[in-house]
A and B are shown apart, each in its own frame.
Chain A
Amino acid sequence: MSVITKIREENFPITYWILAALVLLGMAFGVTRLVLGLGATTNLSSGYPWGLWITFDVFTVPFSAGAFTLAAVLHVFNRKKYHAVAHLALLAGFLGYLLVVLVLLMDLGRWDHFYSVLMPWRWNLHSFMFEVSMSIAIYFGVLVLELVGVVFKGQDWLPVQFINRLIPLIAGTGVMLSCVHQGSLGALFLMLDQKLHPLWWTPILPVLFLTSALFSGLSVGIFLSILTWRALDKPVPMRLLSGLAKVVLVIQAIYLVLKIGDLLLAGEAGLVFGSGLLSVLFLAEIFIGVIMPLILFSSRARESERGLLLGVIYTLVGLAINRSSIAWFGLRAPAEATYFPHWMEFGIVIAAASFGILFFTLGIRYLPAIRKGVLEEGHH
C-alpha cells in the first residue's frame, strides 16, 4: 500500500527496490526449480502432487476476473463512464494472468514438453486441464490486444485503430472465454468426489466458481480503484464504485443461496459444524467472504470509502479461503502424507505477488492512457 500511495512522487521509494529484489530472487528460484526439478525445490509428494502453486493459480484466475467483468460493463453493457475503473482492472488482469502462466510453468514437471498442448491432434477435449490451459492461453492474447488498444489509444497506428474498432468483439470474446474457464477451473475438481471434502465437492462447482469469480473480479475493480485514486490524491469516484458494489451484492446473494441451498438439498448441512477444522474454513469463508460484505454493501457503508474498502477486502479474503480449501486443505491425502510448502515455493509466490504490485504501480506511473483516465475522472 505504501508503494501505491507514493506513486505521485517522481522518485523511486525504497519499497520499489524491495519488491524488485523479491522479484529477482524469485526468478533465481524459478531457474533453480526448472534446472533441479520439483523434488529439490518443493515439498510435493505422491500424497500431495499439487500444492501452493496450484492454489496460487486457482486464486489468481478469479482475482484477475476484474478484467473481464469490467470489460463487459464497458463494452457489452456500454457503460462508458466506467472506462478508468475498467482500465485499472485490465492492467491487473493482464499481470494476474501473466503470473498464472509463469507459475503454471513452474508446476509443469516436464516443462520442456509444454509445446505438447499446442498440438491439436493431442488435445483431449474431455480434459478440463486442457480446457483451462487453452482458454487461459487464448484469453491472455485477448488481454494483450485490449491493453494495446488502451495504452496506444489516439495514436494513428493502423493495428491499434483496428483493435479499437473491433473492441466490442474482442472484449466479448474475452468475456465468453472467461465465463468458460472460470467455471472450468472449478470443473477440474469434479472428478475428485472421492478426494474433495463434501463441504466443497458438489456437481455445481463450476457454477460456484463462475459466480464467485464474477463478484471477486468486480471487487478487485473497486479495491484497485480506491487505492489508485487515493494514491493520486484525487477524490474516489464513489458513485461509480457504489454502483459496482450493488452488483457485487446481488451476485454474492445468489452465490450464498446456491452454496447453502446445494448443501441443504444434498442433506449434508450437518457437515457445516461436524467437520472439525474444515468446518472452520467453510464457516470463515461464508462469514468473512459473503455475509460481512453483504451486510456492508446493503447498508449505508456502501456509500463510504471505508465501508467499500472493507467490504471488498472481506470478499477477497473469503475468495482466498475458498480456493485454498478446494485446491489444498479440503483434498484428502493418504493418511501418512503431510505437506507444508518448501521455502522456495513460498519464495516464488511472494515474488509473483511482488511482481504484480510493482508493475501495477509502474503501469499507473508510466502508462499515460491509464493514468489520465484516473486523473480526469470527476472533471466531466
Chain B
Amino acid sequence: MIDKETHMTNTLTRREVLKLAGAGASALLLKVDSAHALDEVVADDAAAVLYDATRCVGCRACEEACKAWNKLPPDEEPPSDLTAHNYTLIKQHQEGADESFRKYQCMHCVHPACVSACPVQALTKSKDGPVMYDANKCIGCRYCMVACPFHVPRIDWSDPLPIIAKCTFCADRIMHGQIPACVEACPVEALTFGTREQILEEARSRIKQYPDRYIDHVYGETEAGGTSWMYISAVPFEQIGFPKLDSDPVPELSDDVAMYGTPSMLVGVAALLGGIYWATSRRNEGKQEE
C-alpha cells in the first residue's frame, strides 16, 4: 500500500525540516540538546561483529550453532524469516544479476529503539555491547517489536505467556571471554568478532584492499546511530533487505520529548490552570459581592 522509497526519503525531509527551521511550538519546546537524553553507553571497546556477505556461502552452520547454544527447538521446515525459535537466519537475496547471502539477527544498536521503548526496562543495552532481555520484567506490550527499525524481536504467538525472542549476542558467552556461537561455527570466516573499533578498522581495510569486490560502505557504522553488528557487501544494501536509515538514533526525538517535553508540559499546564482558576474565582467572587 505504501511506496517504500518515497516513504523513507520523505520522513528524512520531515526530520530535516524540524532541524533546520525549528518549526512549530513543539520544536521550541522539545529540541533542546539532543546529545543529552540518550545515554552514551557504548564505548569503542564494546563487542561487535562483522558479517562479510562476500565470504558467506550460505551453509547455515551459524543457525545450527545458535539453536544448539540457546537450546531452541528444531524446525519442521526451514524458516523463511526470523521466528521466536530462530534468532538468526541466512537468506539468499537475488535482484537481477546480483546475488548475495545475508545473515539476519538483532543488530544490537548503539542506541536501541527497543530499549527506549520498553516501559519496564526488560530490555537494556549492556556496556559490553549486547541488547539484553529480562523476561521477568517484561509485560508483553510488544512496543519493542513495533519500534525496532530492523524488524527483529519476535514472540511465540502460540505461547499463552510468551517471551520476547531475539539474538542475545551470546552475552552468556562473551562475558566469559568466549566468542558468539555463530561466529565460532562459521567455516569460512564470514563472521569476525572483535571490539567495535577493531571491527570498523577491519571492514574499512577490506574495502580498501578490494575496492572492486565491495560497495564502499560499512552498514551499521552510522545507521540509526550505529549498530554492534556491521555488514560489508558486494551488492547495494537495499538489495539484501536493509532499511535506508540516516545517522540519527531512532529513539532520539522520542527521548527528547519524554525528557524535556513532558516536564515542560506538566509545568506549563499547571501554571496555566492555576492562573485561570485564580482569575475566574476572583471574577466569581466579584459577581457575588455585587
Question: What residues of chain A lie closer than 8 Å to B255, measured between beta carbons?
Answer: 126
User: Which residues of chain B have C-beta atoms less than 8 A from A124's C-beta?
Assistant: 116, 118-121
A262 at the interface (CB under 8 A from B): yes
Residues of A contacting B257 in the complex (Cβ-Cβ under 8 angstroms):
128, 187, 190, 206
Complex contact B139–A203 (CB within 8 A): no
Chain A proximity of B205: nearest CB distance (Å): 31
Whether B15 contacts A191 by the Cβ 8 Å rule is no
A127 contacts B118, C-beta separation under 8 Å: yes
Contact A129 B269 (CB under 8 A): no
B1 → chain A closest CB, angstroms: 6
Binary interface profile of B, 119-153, with partner A (CB < 8 Å = 1, else 0)? 11110000000000001111111110111010100
- The smallest beta-carbon distance between A327 and chain B, in angstroms, is 10
Interface membership of chain A positions 183-197, coded 1 if the CB is closer than 8 angstroms to chain B and 0 otherwise = 110011011111101
Contact A198 B11 (CB under 8 A): yes
- Residue contact B280 to A46, C-beta cutoff 8 Å: no
User: Looking at the complex, which one of B30, B154, B274 makes contact with A46 (CB distance below 8 Å)?
Assistant: B154
Contact surface of B with A, Cβ cutoff 8 Å: 1-4, 7-8, 10-11, 13-15, 17-18, 21, 23-27, 30, 37, 81-83, 113, 116-122, 135-143, 145-147, 149, 151, 154-163, 243, 245, 250-251, 253-255, 257-259, 261-262, 265-266, 269-270, 273-274, 276-277, 280-281, 283-284
Checking A175, A203, A207 against B14 with a beta-carbon cut-off of 8 angstroms, the contacting residue is A203
* A39-B147 contact, Cβ under 8 Å, with A114-B139, A125-B259, A203-B15: no
Nearest chain A CB to B118 CB, angstrom units = 6
A110 touches B139 (CB 8 A): yes
A39 vs B140: C-alpha distance in the bound complex, in angstroms? 13
How many chain A residues touch B (Cβ–Cβ < 8 Å)?
78
> What 0/1 pattern do residues 245 to 289 of A give for CB contact below 8 A with B?
000000000000010001001111001000111100000000000
Q: Residue on B with the closest CB to A334? A: B151
Within 8 Å by CB of B139, from A108, A131, A168, A184, lies A108
Show 26 residue pairs from A and B whose CB-CB distance is below 8 angstroms, ordered by the A residue.
A39-B156, A40-B158, A46-B155, A76-B277, A78-B277, A78-B281, A107-B141, A108-B140, A116-B122, A116-B139, A123-B121, A127-B118, A128-B257, A175-B269, A191-B117, A191-B251, A191-B253, A193-B250, A198-B14, A201-B11, A203-B30, A204-B25, A265-B23, A271-B10, A332-B2, A334-B151
On whether the beta carbons of B157 and A129 are closer than 8 Å, the reply is: no
| Distance A35 CA – B159 CA, assembled complex (angstroms) | 10
A window 186-225: CB within 8 A of B: 187-188, 190-195, 197-198, 201-204, 206-207
Which residues of B are found within 8 Å of A111, using beta-carbon distances?
A: 139-140, 161
Min CB distance, A89 to chain B, in Å?
Answer: 18
Whether A194 and B149, one on each chain, are in contact in the complex, defined by CB atoms closer than 8 angstroms, is: yes
Select which of A117, A266, A278 is within 8 A of B120 by beta carbon.
Answer: A117
- A50 interface residue (CB < 8 Å to B): yes
Partner of A203, one of B27, B118, B135, B163: B27
Q: How many angstroms between the C-alpha atoms of A27 and B154 in the bound complex? A: 28
B155 / chain A contacts, CB cutoff of 8 Å: 38, 46, 49, 109
**Residue from the list A45, A131, A176, A191 in contact with B157, Cβ < 8 A:** A45
**Residue from the list A37, A187, A194 in contact with B159, Cβ < 8 A:** A37
Contact with B along A34-71 (1 / 0, CB 8 A): 11111110001110011000000000000000000000
* A175 close to B259 (CB less than 8 A): no
Query: What separation, in Å, do the CA atoms of A34 and B160 have in the docked complex?
Result: 7
Nearest CB in chain B: distance from A197 CB, A: 6
Inter-chain contacts of B141 with A (CB < 8 A): 107-109, 129
Nearest A residue to B248 via CB reads A193
**Contact present for B143 and A180 (CB under 8 Å):** no
Evaluate contact between A176 and B119: CB separation under 8 angstroms: no
- Name the residue in B116, B119, B257, B265 with the highest tally of chain A Cβ atoms < 10 Å from its Cβ: B119
Contact check, A129 vs B143: say whether CB atoms are below 8 A apart: yes
